[in-house]
Chains A and B, each alone.
Chain A
Amino acid sequence: MVEIENPTTLINKDYESIELVTFAEWIEGFERLANLGVGLILEPGDDVYLIQNQLDLIDLIALDFSNFDDGRGYTQAYLLSKRWKYVGEIIGINAHLDQLQFMIRSGVTSYQLLESYKGSNEEDYSNGFSLCYQAAANNNGLNLQY
């Protein structure tokens, strides 16, 4: 077993515990980390293009949405999901209630809300509309009208 330094763990959509590495750790040691079943945390400033050819080696990618006004995560999700057809889980972490609809439609497949939103009605913000005006990574069951 290869040791992962400073592991962070996260529960994935199947309620399994999965160890996460940072983007820097992955870039530096992806050959060592490949096939260990690890997940990867992508911060908004991390260059998602650098992992484009390594997606088969990653089980889960966690996109960090903690900064409310930083929209780079939505493009990261789109590139992973729609353009590069990543089949692993794309989880939005540190997510904000009011941004769920944008995250989901950009290609995020699961999410973990920040603690402060516990008990909120997620449906109001994940799927509050009857239609959408643009084709996106995921139309989330909305009728497309454009």
Chain B
Amino acid sequence: MYKYSEKDTQFLVERVDQFEKQLNRYLSGELDEDKFRSLRLRNGLYMELHAHMLRVAIPYGILSSNQLRALADVADKYDRGFGHFTTRQNIQFNWIQLPEIANLLRDLTDVGLHAIQTSGKATRNITADPLSGLTEGEIEDARPYCELIRRWFNLHPEFSWLPGKFKIAINGAKLDETALRIHDLGLRLVKNKKGELGFSVYVGGGLGAAAMIGPETASFVPIEDILSYLESAMRIYNLKGRRDHQKKLRIKFLVRELGAAEFSRLVDEDWQQTKNDPELKLNLKELQSLKEDFELPIDPINLKGFRDEVDFNYSIWKKNNVRSHKVSGYSIVTISLTKLGSAPGDATSEQMRILAKLGDQYSSSEIRTTKRQTIVFPFVRKDEVFDLWKSLEENDLDSPHQGTLAQIVACPGRDYCDLAKAVSIPIATRVQERFNEMNKLLDIGDLNINISGCENSCAHHHIADIGLLGMQKNGEEYYQITLAGETLHETNIGKKLGPSVSSETVVDAVENIVNVFIDNRKSEEKFTDVFKRIGIEPFKEKVYG
């Protein structure tokens, strides 16, 4: 598994030292609130409703078991014993005291973790498919590219004070688990006619109040030229992006105002000046070294004659939570943290330590996080899946919800976040209570519900089968419903169903929508297939009657 070098760790220590000085200057009144806000955000530190929230980076969603243990220690030592895995594969701690931040960050440097650029108007954590390197048909494992690009934009002198935040996703698989076209910049690994490897580039996607799908700005950028291309895209954004309007800071507004063709032309014009600069070429030697670091820690095994255990609960869990692996003899196991009444993505320190221990025992000490706020064990022997399930069952981590309606994605909502207009977690709980029969969930099948407490769309409601967006109307909480968002096979933003519904009736509305789906689906049709075939009207009729 890839680990930071001593030099990288030293860099993290130096960054903490610098941030501690900034923090002390703020606490002594030497640094004003506005400047400190800008600086602390670049270190993942938010002022939330009740305390400070710290977002720790989990680059492209990969953790070692030791790193997960360190996060559990942070949860106990500096928080109230839990952390929250986010939809961008990071982890957040919600009850941090300001004077303790530097010590917390210093603890994390020991295991190569940090909070650099997990917020603020700079390049954020780069997200990747949590199944990178594990599935058949991949064009290439995206992780070495994620790491090289992450490094390049780490405290980049030219691009650390952009007009708005800048989120990048990279996908090397056929299906898009990363939702790259709703990112500020998405990279898809592709091969050209000569079989050479490069990237298709999509710029200007995003959710929020003005959800947009990023248009393609370059169909093929050779891998060695990707850094210069990214710099050119960010340079045009840095110079021309809107800074005059708080709600138009993101690159999607620039791309929309200029038009995708003009934006692409400007980027290309700049890129022609730099693409041949040897200093900006991707370091292919380092790439090769990283590919070796990211090589799978397993070899095929022959399990001829192996017969899995027969157990009713196990078989349900296995159907939903276990996927096939490209390496014979292995499985990919998804562990859902979703429990009734708990915030999706929340994990206690005890759960983190159990997962770390089980990761050591069953998954080569590697653990991955996903944008659906679940945990993936990437390397589980098929003949040990049952034993793993038993251990998960003993620790109440055997939720068989993965891929079902009950695996709801929700932001912290108004209970925790001062930006939120409405609650998210209680709505998720009520939906789960309504659909609490496993037979019903299995019948409904793969259907996702995402709930955001405000237009910032942290729970990505636009790209869910059923999306709920919290809002306020005359002091009451209401929810706008969107249907049939998707990113896996193609990218579509969910369509608004109609007027928002009240908090009291929102769960009825969800049930009505699910019933329209069940009544109309043919054989294996998914929700988006049904929606495309029958249109929005039958859903409207049922919900608004």
Q: What residues of chain A have their CB less than 8 Å away from a CB belonging to chain B?
A: 68-72, 74-75, 78, 83, 96, 98-99, 101-106, 124-125, 128-137, 143, 145-146
**Inter-chain contact A146/B38, CB cutoff 8 Å:** no
Of all chain A residues, which has the CB nearest B15? A129
Distance of A135 Cα from B279 Cα, bound (Å): 6
Contact A71 to B161, CB < 8 A, known contacts A130-B7, A135-B279: yes
Q: Which residues of A contact B487 (CB under 8 A)?
A: none
**Inter-chain contact A134/B35, CB cutoff 8 Å:** no
**Interface residue range, chain B:** 35 or more
Of residues B10, B155, B161, which shows the largest number of chain A Cβ atoms within 10 Å of its Cβ?
Answer: B161
Contact of B159 (CB < 8 Å), options: A69, A71, A125? A71
**Inter-chain contact B243/A146, CB cutoff 8 Å:** no
Q: Which residues of A contact B283 (CB under 8 A)?
A: 146
Of all chain B residues, which has the CB nearest A83? B273
**Inter-chain contact B17/A133, CB cutoff 8 Å:** no
B160 at the A interface (CB under 8 A): yes
Q: Which residues of B contact A135 (CB under 8 A)?
A: 279-280
Q: Give the segment of B62-70, B146-154, B496-504 that binds chain A.
A: B146-154
The minimal Cβ–Cβ distance linking B160 to chain A, given in whole angstroms, is 6
Q: Which residues of B contact A74 (CB under 8 A)?
A: 157-161, 238
B156 at the A interface (CB under 8 A): yes
Distance of A137 Cα from B22 Cα, bound (Å): 26
Contact of A98 (CB < 8 Å), options: B15, B22, B34, B239? B22
Contact of A133 (CB < 8 Å), options: B18, B151, B161? B151
Q: Looking at chain A's contact residues, is the secondary structure mostly helix, strand, loop, or mixed? A: mixed
**Inter-chain contact B38/A68, CB cutoff 8 Å:** yes
The minimal Cβ–Cβ distance linking B163 to chain A, given in whole angstroms, is 8
Contact of B11 (CB < 8 Å), options: A83, A102, A130? A130
Distance of A57 Cα from B22 Cα, bound (Å): 40
Q: Which residues of B contact A146 (CB under 8 A)?
A: 148, 151-152, 283, 286
B434 at the A interface (CB under 8 A): no
Q: Which residues of B contact A70 (CB under 8 A)?
A: 161, 243
Q: Which residues of B contact A136 (CB under 8 A)?
A: 156-158
**Inter-chain contact B18/A125, CB cutoff 8 Å:** yes
28 contacts between A and B (CB under 8 A): A68-B35, A71-B158, A71-B162, A72-B239, A74-B157, A74-B160, A98-B31, A98-B39, A99-B161, A101-B155, A102-B155, A106-B157, A125-B18, A128-B14, A128-B18, A130-B10, A130-B14, A133-B151, A133-B154, A134-B151, A135-B279, A136-B156, A137-B157, A143-B7, A145-B151, A146-B151, A146-B152, A146-B283
Of all chain A residues, which has the CB nearest B13? A130
The minimal Cβ–Cβ distance linking B58 to chain A, given in whole angstroms, is 19
**Inter-chain contact A69/B121, CB cutoff 8 Å:** yes
